[in-house]
C-alpha cells in the first residue's frame, strides 16, 4: 500500500515495522506538504511554528525502534499541538497573542510530556483564535494578531474554519500531520472538527491534565484529539489520559481512564445502542441540505442497529446561561499561568497583556479586547456571589436538569446533535462529546454529527462513533490545488 498524508497511524506503524519507511521520511513528507500549502498555494495558514528539532527527534526515534523496539502506536508519529499548550523547548507558547509572541514556557505541559513519552514527534504548533476566542466579541474564527487568519481547506476564504482550535482543524484536514491536539472550553475542539470534516474528541474534564495549557476556565478547560479517523483519535486520546498530581481535576479519572481506547472500537457498536435525537437546536442555522444530511445520519444509525428515540429534549436547554463563570475564572487562570513564565519575561499579569495591546493597538487590537478588560475588572479571587451562584446554577442545569435528566428519562446511551450544537451544555457539565464527518452539501461544505454522553463515557461514545464511521465512510479529503 502506498503511504500518503492521508495514511492512518496503523498504516504508518505497519510500514515502519516492516522497514519500508521511517519516521524521518514521514516527518519530511509532512514538512514538504506544509511548505506547499500552508504559507503558499491556497495558504491555509494553520501552522504558527515548526519545531526545529522535529527531524532530529524522528531520527532518534527511528534509531530507538531498531535498538529497543517501538514504544507504542504513536512511536515516530508526527503530531501538531495548539499554540496555547506549553512546550519547554525552542518553540514559543503564545495563545496567538503578540504580548506573548516572544515568550517561552519554562517546562512542558502535561500534554506535551505525555506525547514525548509516547514517542510522538512534536512537529510544531498550530494557529488559533487568539486567547482561545476569549479576547473580545465578534472576533473572526481562526484569527490571531500573532498568526493571522487560518483558512478552511474545504473553502478557503469562503467557509468558516471554526474556532478556537482552528489551526489544528485546518492542519489535519490539509494533511499537515497525522493527528493534532486542540483545546476546548466551550466548542473549541468540536466546532472546528465539524467545519473541517474531522473526528474531534472533547473529553470529560479531568481525563486529561490541564497543567501547562494557557487557560480560560478552571471548570471547563480540556485538551483533546483532532484526527481524520475515529481510530486515530482514540489512539491519541489514550496517550494523553492519566492522573497528574499537579492537576487536582485528574484525580476524578482514577480508575475511569484508559491508556488504550482501541479495544472499544467495534464495527457493530451501534447494535442495541439507544440514542436520543436532538432536533430543538436546529432553529434557522441549517439549510435544507444540511437538514437532509442529519436525517441521513439518523437513518444510518437505525440501519446499523441503533434504537433511535426521536426528538428528545433536554429539560434545561433554554436555561439562563450567564457569562460569570468564564469571566471570573479567566483572570485567575491567566495570572497563574503568566507567573510560571521565566522571571525575565515582562508580561506577568492580565493587566500587562491589556496594556501591551493598547500600546500596539494597530497590530494587536483589530477586534478589540472587550473580554480581557471585563475579566480583568473582576477580583481574580473567585469570591463574587455572581460567580459562585452561576457556577452552581450551571452545574445543576447542565447535569441534573440537563444531560443526566434526558439520558435517564429515555434510558439512553447518548444523545445526538447536528453539527456541534449543544456543545455549551456539555461544556458546562464537563461531559464528553465526539464529532464524526457526515457528508457535504452540494457546495462542498462539511457536515458532521456529535455524540454526547455522561462523564467518562468515552468508551461508549467512541464505540458508537466508530461503528457509524465504518458504516458510512463519508469523509472526503479537501481539494488543495489553488
3-state secondary structure the chain: CCCCCCCCHHHHHHHHHHCCCCHHHHHHHHHHHHHHHCCCCCCCCCEEEECCCHHHHHHHHHHHHHHHCCCCCCCCCEEEEECCECCCCCCCCCCCCHHHCCCCCCCCCHHHHHHHHCCCEEEEEECCCHHHHCCCCCCCCCEECCCEECCCCCCCCCCCCCCCCHHHHHHHHCCCCCEEEEEECCCCCHHHHHHCCCEEEECCCCCECCCCECCCCCCCCEEEEEECCHHHHHHHHHHHECCCCCCHHHHHHCCCCCCCCHHHCCCCCCCCCEEEEECCCCCCCCCHHHHHHHHHHHHHHHHCCCEEEEEECCCCCCCCCCCHHHHHHHHHHHHHHHCCCCCCCCCCCHHHHHHHHHHCHHHHCCCCCHHHHHHHCCCCCCCCHHHHHHHHHHHHHHHHHHHHHHHHHHCCCEEEEECCCCHHHHHHHCCCEEEEEEEECCCCCEEEEEEECCCCCHHHHHHHHHHHHHHHCCCCCCCCCC
CB 228 within 8 A of CB 187: no
Q: What local confidence, expressed as pLDDT, does residue 353 receive?
A: 98
- How would residue 282 be classed by pLDDT, with cut points 50, 70 and 90? confident
Strand partners, 312: 278
pLDDT (tens digit, 9 = 90+) per residue, 127-182?
Answer: 999 999 999 999 999 999 999 999 999 999 999 999 999 999 999 999 999 999 99
- How would residue 1 be classed by pLDDT, with cut points 50, 70 and 90? confident
Q: What local confidence, expressed as pLDDT, does residue 317 receive?
A: 85
Strand partners, 183: 223
The whole-angstrom distance between residue 313's C-alpha and the CA centroid of its chain comes to: 26
**Residue 195, all three cell numbers:** 467545519
Closest CA to 118 of 194, 197, 57: 57
Mean pLDDT of 101-128: 98
**From CA 237, how far away is CA 118, in angstroms rounded?**
12
Q: What local confidence, expressed as pLDDT, does residue 281 receive?
A: 78
Closest CA to 227 of 258, 191, 268, 182: 182
433-466 b/e (C-beta count within 10 Å ≥ 16 → b): bbbbbbbbeeeebbbbbbbbbbbbbbbbbbbbbb
Domains of the chain, CATH where assigned:
9-264 (3.90.1300.10)
- Provide the whole-model pTM: 0.98
Cβ-count burial of 243 within 10 angstroms (0-12 exposed, 13-18 middle, 19+ buried)? middle
pLDDT (tens digit, 9 = 90+) per residue, 115-131?
Answer: 999 999 999 999 999 99
Over the chain, what is the mean pLDDT? 97
Of all residues in the chain, what percent carry a pLDDT higher than 90?
Answer: 97
Of all residues in the chain, what percent carry a pLDDT higher than 70?
Answer: 100
CA count, 13 A, side-chain hemisphere, 28: 7
Mean pLDDT of 226-249: 98
**From CA 343, how far away is CA 308, in angstroms rounded?**
57
Catalytically annotated residues: 82, 164, 188
- How would residue 482 be classed by pLDDT, with cut points 50, 70 and 90? low
CB 333 within 8 A of CB 217: yes
CB 191 within 8 A of CB 207: no
pLDDT (tens digit, 9 = 90+) per residue, 404-460?
Answer: 999 999 999 999 999 999 999 999 999 999 999 999 999 999 999 999 999 999 999
Amino acid at each position: 500500500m502506498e503511504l500518503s498524508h492521508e495514511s492512518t497511524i496503523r498504516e504508518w506503524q505497519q510500514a515502519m515495522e516492516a522497514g519500508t519507511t521511517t519516521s524521518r521520511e514521514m516527518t519530511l513528507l509532512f514538512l514538504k506538504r506544509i511548505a506547499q500549502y500552508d504559507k503558499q498555494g491556497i495558504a491555509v495558514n494553520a501552522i504558527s511554528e515548526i519545531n526545529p528539532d522535529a527531524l532530529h527527534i524522528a531520527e532518534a526515534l527511528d534509531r530507538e525502534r531498531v535498538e529497543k523496539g517501538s514504544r507504542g502506536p504513536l512511536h515516530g508519529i508526527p503530531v501538531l499541538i495548539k499554540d496555547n499548550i506549553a512546550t519547554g523547548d525552542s518553540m514559543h507558547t503564545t495563545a496567538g497573542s503578540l504580548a506573548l509572541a516572544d515568550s517561552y514556557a519554562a517546562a512542558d505541559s502535561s500534554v506535551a510530556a505525555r506525547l514525548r513519552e509516547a514517542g510522538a514527534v512534536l512537529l510544531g504548533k498550530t494557529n488559533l483564535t487568539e486567547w482561545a476566542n476569549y479576547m473580545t466579541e465578534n472576533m473572526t474564527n481562526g484569527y490571531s494578531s500573532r498568526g493571522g487568519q487560518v483558512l478552511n481547506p474545504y473553502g478557503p476564504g469562503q467557509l468558516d474554519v471554526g474556532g478556537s482550535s482552528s489551526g489544528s482543524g485546518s492542519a489535519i484536514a490539509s494533511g499537515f500531520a497525522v493527528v493534532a491536539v486542540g483545546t476546548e472550553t466551550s466548542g473549541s475542539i468540536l466546532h472546528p472538527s465539524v467545519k473541517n470534516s474531522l473526528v474531534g474528541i472533547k473529553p470529560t474534564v479531568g481525563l486529561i491534565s490541564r497543567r501547562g495549557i494557557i487557560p480560560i476556565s478552571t471548570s471547563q478547560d480540556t485538551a483533546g484529539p483532532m484526527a481524520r479517523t475515529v481510530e486515530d483519535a482514540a489512539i491519541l486520546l489514550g496517550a494523553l489520559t492519566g492522573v497528574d498530581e499537579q492537576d487536582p481535576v485528574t484525580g476524578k479519572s482514577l480508575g475511569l481512564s484508559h491508556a488504550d481506547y482501541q479495544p472499544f472500537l467495534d464495527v457493530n457498536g451501534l447494535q442495541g445502542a439507544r440514542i436520543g435525537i436532538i432536533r430543538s437546536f436546529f432553529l434557522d442555522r441549517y439549510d435544507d441540505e444540511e437538514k437532509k444530511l442529519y436525517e441521513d445520519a439518523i437513518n444510518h444509525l437505525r440501519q446499523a442497529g441503533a434504537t433511535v428515540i426521536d426528538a428528545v429534549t433536554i429539560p434545561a436547554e433554554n436555561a439562563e446561561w450567564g457569562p460569570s463563570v468564564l469571566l471570573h475564572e479567566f483572570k485567575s487562570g491567566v495570572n497563574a499561568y503568566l507567573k510560571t513564565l521565566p522571571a525575565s519575561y515582562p508580561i506577568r499579569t492580565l493587566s500587562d497583556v491589556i496594556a501591551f495591546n493598547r500600546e500596539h493597538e494597530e497590530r494587536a487590537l483589530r477586534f478589540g479586547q472587550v473580554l480581557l478588560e471585563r475579566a480583568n475588572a473582576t477580583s481574580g479571587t473567585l469570591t463574587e456571589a455572581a460567580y459562585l451562584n452561576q457556577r452552581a446554577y450551571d452545574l445543576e442545569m447542565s447535569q441534573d436538569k440537563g444531560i443526566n435528566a434526558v439520558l435517564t428519562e429515555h434510558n439512553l446511551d447518548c444523545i445526538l446533535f447536528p453539527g456541534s450544537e449543544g456543545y455549551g451544555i456539555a461544556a458546562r457539565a464537563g461531559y464528553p462529546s465526539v464529532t464524526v464527518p457526515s457528508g457535504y452539501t452540494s457546495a462542498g461544505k462539511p457536515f458532521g454529527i456529535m455524540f454526547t454522553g455522561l462523564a467518562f463515557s468515552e468508551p461508549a461514545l467512541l464505540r458508537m462513533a466508530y461503528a457509524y464511521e465504518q458504516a458510512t465512510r463519508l469523509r472526503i479529503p479537501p481539494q488543495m490545488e489553488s
